[in-house]
Structure 1
Amino acid sequence: MSRRHRWIRGDWQIAQWLLPRVPGAGAPSQVNPISLLSRWKILDNLRRSLVPAALTVLLLLGWTTPVIAIVLLPTLLASCTDIFRRPIETLWRQHLAVAARSLVRRLEQVAFSLACLPYEALFSLDAIARTNIRMFITHKRLLEWYPSSSLVHDGDSNIFSLYRSMWIGPAIAIGMAAYFTRGRPGALLETAPILGLWFLSPLWVWWIGRPRVARAPALTASKISFLEKLSRKTWAFFETFATAEDHWLPPDNFQQNPAPVVSHRTSPTNIGLALLANLCAYDFGYISCGRLIAQTTNTFRTMEALERHRGHFYNWYDTQTLKPLLPLYISTVDSGNLAGHLLTLKNGLLALLDQPVLAPRFFEGVRDTVAVLMDAAGSAVMPHLTRLRTAVESACFSPPATPGSARTSLELLVAITTDVAANLDATANIEAKWWAHALDRQCRDALDDLTFSPGERATSIKRLAAQADQFAQMEYDFLFDKTSRLFAIGYNASERRRDSSYYDLLASEARLASFVAIAQGQVPQENWFALGRLLTTSAGDPVLLSWSGSMFEYLMPLLVMPTYENTLLDQTYKAAVKRQIKYGRERGVPWGISECGYNTIDAQLNYQYRAFGAPGLGLKRGLAEDLVIAPYASALA
């Protein structure tokens, strides 16, 4: 507010420049050299500073309806204009809902302006009076101002200090209420809304000025159980398909309908996510450290055998022949994803050196597997499963503190899981059998890990961390355009040609590639600042525009990138998720839209894949024409 006070004082200090003659440098006066347009701007600024006082006086004189009309008219006209400006790709129902919410926000702003009107009037008149006194009487402090660094804001959030500084509103409200009570009781009811706003204006300012406090997610026990089982089932994909048959590489996808098909191809992003999935599986207690080391070693051995170009892995490989798929192509996004995931893996592996032999969350991981097994077994639940669950819950409640007690607990679990697997083999469905054997492997691997030599374990971890760092070293100069300071979409190695299109938005999945390349010193920092920052708002929150408005663009880099509270990117992440949730409610569907497979198949009965997004977040046209929900997009959030 002090800055605005200074602006008003400045406007009135130059008011004399509206006159035909003005002070001159070497003479008492000279012909005014500024243009009529500039004079009009000065006059308009003076008019604007008098508006709050004029409206307050009109309200006090009883001209309530005209003042309300003056304040409301611009809002109503803007809302009417919004109604008739419907984007072609937006349905009328959605457009009217958005217009209605916009109208409500504008009406709230009008109400707030009316509430603060007496304070605005006093504030403006104070600035005008100070200026004229200093110019025509004291001739001092004409250049008074305070730098922002010297201002103290601690008291601004105190409701009592706000009532002291904004006393004029409550004072007028009390005075007018007393006057109407004694002289015109009927008018008190008519003016009560305005007087109430004035009396409560400091409270309203205090309320909207409170710092935002992020609410911690309040998850019930059932929701936590659901997420734990979901994470265990997700790991089962890698456990099932990233095997020796595919050279320990993750297939791109598996579709169950119309016929079970494994897509035996993979990309750098898939490989990076699979490596991190192994690490997460250890953190969640689904695999032992020995299994993590073995799985990572096998994948790295395959990666060493893959054909590369200047450190980059090609966009697609056949997971069974290990040949790159034609055309040989290097994707900037995929390379950046893999590099970022490898660097994250490196640090995650090195952190294992300080971990105990048995994963801290191992027994909780076993409990997750048991929960999934019991769901799959259904009516086949038997005393063995009940006994197993009891043993696991006991271990979770009181984890073993020594290697000896850990061995005892694991031997008990292995004995029980062996019996469970044997019994379910004869009575249960295929899914329950698979989970029973997965549980048995999980416990046996942990038991075998107790015999793993600590020195050998540390050596293997350091070797894998060094390999991860080596794989993350790639040359980016042939993908980077020095003129635009942007990354190309990719490079066609078959034709030795760089793409002519570039990633020019900060809100894109290529953000991680820029982050990694800059951190490695491969490209200048100017690349980050060259990325476009086109802004829009969603429910009043600022959000960076992406190309397709997908969760993948906003949140995929965030899997391994840091975020900082109250930054533009942090606000964008939250606003994008809120927008997706709101759009899901508008369309009456679950929320979560991103690039994914959808219900269109080719001649080989394979589902097709393309980008989808939420309208209002992307520059791409036609985002409202298709509606495809991707569960992984919800999980990303």
Structure 2
Amino acid sequence: MRRRSVLTLAAGVPAALLTPPAARAGTPVGVPAPPLADPPRQLLLRYAEDTWRSMTAMVDPGTGLPADNVDADLSATSRSRYTSPTNIGCLIWSAVVARELGLVSRGETRRRVRAALEALACLERHPYSGMFYNWYDPATGQLLRTWPVDGSTVHPFLSSVDNAWLAAALIVAGNDDPALRASAGRLLAGMDFGFYYDANARGAEFGAGLLRGGFWPERPPNGGVEDNYRGRGPNVWYTGHHYGTLNSETRIGSYVAIALGQVPREHYFAMWRTFEPNCDWSWQELKPVGEDRELLGIRVFEGAYRHRGRQYVPSWGGSMFEALMPDLLVPEARWAPDSWGRNHPVFVQGQIDHGLHEARYGHWGFSPSSNPAGGYREYGVDPMGLDPDGYPSDQERTRVNLGFDGCRDAEPLPTGYGDGVVTPHAVFLALPYAPAEAVDQLARLRADFDCYGPGGFHDAVAVRSGAVAHRHLALDQGMVLGALGNLLAGDVLRRRFAPGPATERLRPLLGIEEFAVPVG
């Protein structure tokens, strides 16, 4: 995965389906949304079928590994020559979804997942942590030391969150198919997330620490932080930052590490909801409201932002995938009705309001994606993120400064926004919480732009210029299929992730907290 915010499992599937909460007006949080009528359901199944076609087009037939991306024409020659643990994880859970939606047979799903597991078993790993490196050649499985795009040097790196997405997919695979349980379990058993855990990240007396972003086994040009938290093997060089923001996609690393029993559960409360409401923290986007609480002996400031009539726990950059990607696998709204169950619907409505009313783009769905002008870039809703330089929603990088009462003066609001960039995967992530709005937005994207092809929606659209990023990313297509699988196949991914230690260790932990977010 790209830039992020700083900051052996039991088998078996429960019979009861976990249904995501609705966000429709008048429907209490935690109450299942009514089933979609047949026409929208059939349309969404078509989206899933086409999206799966793009996912399979990324797979190298020799190794079974997916590329990071492919052009919208799905040509084999356009596959990228690099892949990551996250991409491989996305392929694994997408194959499970494709079978559950009737797009492929059980045999084909098993064949594809087995090929990926066998390829993973052959990839070079860090011998002391069992973690996978960030970049491999999908055609050969070789660890990349030269970037295939420009020939620059790659310093092998092991990301905590990329490994967490892969580990989560291994949990799904092991719980999904008894024939693959042993293979997935062997790979998972070798992965130790405690290698990333800095127990003293917030001070020795605080009571819990944070995960580092990752480490290099060889000294990188920037030096890094030399240490070894497990004391196994030689020292490594950690990133200078920790993942300290709770409402970020990086929390999947915390979920997996806690579920595997490799870090203490108190770690969950060491991450910030917002930072403190005093001038020492006045660099953050807004002055939060909230109060201190003690949870498992950890002092937690239960902070939230207020903006445009809503109160919510912000993400780092205000993007949809930060807020909702972990929810694809972990039944957050069900397990944490007083925290995530309140926050997710509000976050989705904030994105909708920004796109339709605040910025007046006529479209919504803001998240890191391909840049229609080339490359990759972060997009989000600036006031919904902690970062004062956090992700803008347009190409011109229009930002707001709403001030910090008593510490920083506000600046005039923008008189207008520029060329807003929306990405379909952000709209699909919103489906459980605003199904009617999401279906409508997807239809309007297809009607207004040349953004759909044989592999489904193209990755991003600049809505005022009409420029489209005509390619598919394994990460983004994996989010699309995950969201569709949960909606149309009874929370299939959440049911495959949950059995065993995830339910035993995570469910009671997430249920402790109440965010400073009013009941909707």
Query: Taking structure 1 as the reference length, what is the TM-score of the superposition?
Result: 0.46
1:575 is aligned to 2:346: yes
Preserved contact between residue 54 and residue 74 of structure 2 (Cα < 8 Å): no
Say whether 1:465 aligns with 2:160. Answer: no
* Of 347, 367, 370, the match for 2:175: 347
Q: Which amino acid aligns with 2:244?
A: D
Measured in 2, the distance between the counterparts of 1:553 and 1:590 equals 19
Residues 291/487 of structure 1: CA separation in 2 closer, same or farther (3 Å cut): same
Superposed CA deviations along residues 488-510 of structure 1, whole A, max 9, x for unmatched, are 11112232310110111110111
Correspondence for 1:327? 155
Could you tell me which residue of structure 2 aligns to residue 239 of structure 1? 56
1:298 aligns with 2:112: no
The structure that is helix-richer by fraction is 1
- Map Cα deviations across residues 154-193 of structure 1 (whole Å, 9 max, x no partner): xxxxxxxxxxxxxxxxxxxxxxxxxxxxxxxxxxxxxxxx
Q: Which residue of 1 aligns with 2:69?
A: 253
Unaligned runs of 5+ in 1: 1-207, 351-460, 602-607
Report how far residue 217 of structure 1 moved.
4.6
Distance in 2, matches of 1:324 and 1:472, equals 20
1:109-258 to structure 2, matched below 5 A, reads 214=31, 216-217=33-34, 219-245=36-62, 247-256=63-72
Which residue among 460, 470, 479 is the counterpart of 2:196?
479
Matched, 1:560 2:350: no
- Map 1:434-473 onto structure 2 (within 5 A): 461=179, 464-473=180-189
C-alpha distance 231-538 of structure 1, shift in aligned 2 (>3 A) = farther
* Secondary structure, counterpart of 1:263 in structure 2: coil
Give deviations 1:489-544, integer Å, cap 9, x for gaps: 11122323101101111101111110111111111112101010111135544321
Q: Give RMSD over aligned pairs.
A: 2.5
Structure with higher Rg: it is 1
Map 1:84-99 → 2, pairs under 5 A: none
Cα gap change, 1:589/1:470 in structure 2, threshold over 3 Å: closer, same or farther?
Answer: farther
Q: How far off is 1:316 after superposition?
A: 1.1
The answer to whether the Cα contact below 8 Å between 2:29 and 2:337 also exists between their aligned partners in 1 is no
Cα deviation 1:342-378 (Å, max 9, x = unaligned) = 112211224xxxxxxxxxxxxxxxxxxxxxxxxxxxx
Q: Which residue of 1 aligns with 2:421?
A: 628
- The answer to whether the 8 Å contact 2:30/2:337 transfers is no
CA gap of 1:243–1:323, structure 2 versus 1, over 3 A, is closer
Q: Give the CA deviation at 1:593.
A: 0.9
- After superposition, the C-alpha distances for 1:204-243 in whole angstroms (9 at most, x for unaligned) are xxxx999668572563433222101000011112233314
Aligned length: 311
CA contact under 8 A between 2:215 and 2:238: conserved in structure 1?
Answer: yes
- The alpha-carbon distance between structure 1 residues 548 and 211, as it changes in their structure 2 partners (threshold 3 A), is closer
Distance 1:332-1:589 versus aligned 2 partners, 3 A rule: farther
Distance 1:567 1:468 in 2: 33
1:307 paired with 2:124, answer: yes
Change (3 A) 1:218 1:288: closer
User: Partner of 1:497: helix, strand, or coil?
Assistant: strand
How far did 1:337 drift? 1.1
- 1:509 maps to which of 218, 239, 249: 249
Inter-CA distance 262–543: structure 2 relative to 1 (3 Å threshold): same
Q: Which residue of structure 2 lines up, in the alignment, with residue 618 of structure 1? A: 385
1:594 alignment counterpart: 367
Q: Which runs of 5+ in 2 are unaligned?
A: 1-24, 145-153, 202-208, 220-235, 275-303, 399-419, 431-520
> Higher relative contact order by CA 8 Å / sep ≥ 6: 1 or 2?
2
String of CA shifts for 1:262-293, please: whole Å, max 9, x gaps: 21211111111101111111111122122122
Deviation at 1:249, TM superposition (A): 0.8
Distance 1:294 1:214, change over 3 A: closer
> What is the TM-score with the length of structure 2 in the denominator?
0.56
Q: Tell me what 1:287 maps to.
A: 104
Determine the C-alpha separation between the residues in 2 that align with 1:341 and 1:517.
Answer: 14
